[in-house]
Structure 1
Amino acid sequence: MHPAPSIIFFTVFSGLGFGMMFFLGLGKPDVSGFTAFVFFAIAYALAVGGLISSTFHLGNPQRALKAFSQWKTSWLSREGCLAVATLMIMGLYAIGVVFLDTRWTLLGLLGSALSLATVFGTSMIYTQIKTVPRWSNWTTPVLFLLYALTGGAFLTGQTSTATPLLLVLGVFQCVVWMIGDGQFAKAGSTIETATGLGHMGKVRMFEAPHSSKNYLMKEMVHVVGRKHARTLRIIGVLCLSLLPLVLLLVVPFSHLVALLAVLLHIAGALMIRWLFFAEAEHTVGLYYGAR
């Protein structure tokens, strides 16, 4: 599928923001006053900024509010509702921590749970798409949650938690690729099944269905070379997991080292999230010979 910058920004940075809120709701780090305000401000900037960026991919951004009304059937709507609930609950919790030096524990725990629920809702937007076999399996929600937890631990200074999570995330990302690479073939979709002409024998495209690109081709069909994908995977995992892990475990700790590790992690996340969309084959591509 076409890796739109707005969707990449949305899924990466909103995940980081809600990941931060998960740890802040648990009282980590144990800060109050202006320091707590800075942590909450960063978390809200990432989460809200990511959510706003997602509207840029809509055909009619001014109608974004209507998405909240379809919560019974749409994961996009559920994610929006969960996000608003999280921001409201965490806002109340932040007031206590920042201005009253008080932690309303139950409110914080509820905010943490809603934060993860929001990330899960985001992941289900893609998991539910049966026509993209690479996404439509259990690994997608687990991957999104791991990204949020790892990034959240990083940005809230939970080094002892972020270190093992970096290793787990790197390994699991490789597992996701191993599973995902065979999902399209496993689904059994071919040009014969897509056209319904398989009973007549082998089907091949004589010529393109139309002379210029249409919406489906722009949004659902994107071909990335296997060689380039392999290179990006290696660089992505190095930045996402291995290099930050080395910086945390080998190099003497300093704020500059921690910042570099965070920036590398985010760069790797952006790169791999681009691949998440670019490598996702939609079955509609069979009609255009784009496999």
Structure 2
Amino acid sequence: MHPAPSVIFFSTFSGLGFGLLIWLGLGVPEVSGWSAFAFFAIAYLLAVGGLISSTFHLGHPERALKAFTQWKTSWLSREGWCAVAALILMALYGAGLVFFDAKWTLLGLLGAFFSLATVFTTSMIYTQLKTIPRWHQPLTPFNFLSLSIAGGALLAGQVMWSIILLVISGVIQAATWVIGDKALASSGTDMASATQLGGIGKVRAFEPPHTGTNYLLREFVHVIGRKHSEKLRIIALGLMVVLPVILLLLPFNHIIAVVAVLAHVAGVLTARWLFFAEAEHVVGLYYGKR
């Protein structure tokens, strides 16, 4: 698919923001006053900023509020409700820490739950799509959740947890790629089923259905070379997992911590670009694209 920058930024930064909110809701790190304000400010800038960036990909942003009415059938609507609940609950929890030096544990736990649910519902927007076999697999939610929680631990300054969770997220990411590479071939969808001409005989592309481009080709068909894909995967894993883990194993200082966070963010952005660029929509089979 065509990798839209707004969706890449949304899925990366909102995941990090809600990941940090998960840890803050669990009481990690133990902060209050201005220290708590700083952590919550970072979390909200990332989470809310990511959510706002997602609206730039909408054809009619003014209709976004209508998405809240479809919560029974739409994962996008459920994501919206979970995000609102998480942000409200964590705002109240954060206010208690910042202004009253009070830790309202129940609010924090509820906020952490809805923060986790927000990331899960985001992942399900993509996982539910049978038309994109690479996304329609069980590891997609784990990929989103593991990166969110690991990134949150990194932002929360939890060194040992960060190392463990970064390694786990890296393994899940690699497994997601391996399974995804075989997803289209094993989905049972091919040019014969895409054109509905399989009953006549063997189907092959004689010439393109159109002489020029169209909306489907622009939005749903994006071909990336295997060599470029492999290089970008190595870069993504190196930046979002390997380099941060190496830096975290060194004697701690704030400069190293900042570099580890920046490297992780750059790696996740690369992985998210691949998430969309490598997604083979089955409509591409109609145009002879794979």
Partner residue in 2 for 1:274: 273
Equivalents in 2 of 1:17, 1:29: separation in Å? 15
Seq. identity, %: 63
Corresponding residue SS for 1:222: coil
Partner residue in 1 for 2:4: 4
Equivalents in 2 of 1:217, 1:17: separation in Å? 33
Give RMSD over aligned pairs. 0.8
Equivalents in 2 of 1:247, 1:204: separation in Å? 52
- 1:199 Cα offset (Å): 1.9
Partner residue in 1 for 2:256: 257
Equivalents in 2 of 1:137, 1:123: separation in Å? 11
Partner residue in 1 for 2:159: 159
- In structure 1, the gaps of 5 or more residues are none
Partner residue in 1 for 2:218: 218
Partner residue in 2 for 1:146: 146
**5 Å matches for 1:69-84?**
69-84=69-84
- 1:252 Cα offset (Å): 1.8
1:223-262 residue CA offsets vs partner (Å, 9 max, x unmatched): 000000000001110001011111111x221100011011
Equivalents in 1 of 2:217, 2:133: separation in Å? 18
Corresponding residue SS for 2:199: helix
TM-score, normalised by the number of residues in structure 2: 0.98
Equivalents in 1 of 2:256, 2:262: separation in Å? 10
TM-score, normalised by the number of residues in structure 1: 0.98
Partner residue in 2 for 1:239: 239
Partner residue in 1 for 2:19: 19
- 1:221 Cα offset (Å): 0.5
1:37 alignment partner AA = F
Partner residue in 1 for 2:114: 114
Partner residue in 2 for 1:46: 46
Partner residue in 2 for 1:99: 99
Equivalents in 2 of 1:213, 1:89: separation in Å? 47
Equivalents in 2 of 1:23, 1:143: separation in Å? 18
1:72 alignment partner AA = K
1:283 and 2:282 are equivalent in the alignment = yes
Q: Which moved more, 1:265-274 or 1:191-200?
A: 191-200
1:151 alignment partner AA = G
**5 Å matches for 1:118-133?**
118-133=118-133
- 1:169 Cα offset (Å): 1.1
Equivalents in 2 of 1:104, 1:273: separation in Å? 35
2:273 alignment partner AA = W
- 1:210 Cα offset (Å): 2.2
Equivalents in 2 of 1:233, 1:273: separation in Å? 10
Equivalents in 2 of 1:109, 1:194: separation in Å? 47
Corresponding residue SS for 1:227: helix
Equivalents in 2 of 1:51, 1:111: separation in Å? 17
1:195-231 residue CA offsets vs partner (Å, 9 max, x unmatched): 1111222212232222322221111110000000000
Equivalents in 2 of 1:214, 1:52: separation in Å? 28
2:147 alignment partner AA = Y
Equivalents in 1 of 2:173, 2:67: separation in Å? 31
1:9-62 residue CA offsets vs partner (Å, 9 max, x unmatched): 000000000000000001111111111001101100100000011010010111
**5 Å matches for 1:31-42?**
31-42=31-42
Corresponding residue SS for 1:181: helix
Equivalents in 1 of 2:82, 2:51: separation in Å? 12
- In structure 2, the gaps of 5 or more residues are none
1:140 alignment partner AA = T
- 1:280 Cα offset (Å): 0.7
Corresponding residue SS for 1:198: coil
Partner residue in 2 for 1:190: 190
1:257 alignment partner AA = I
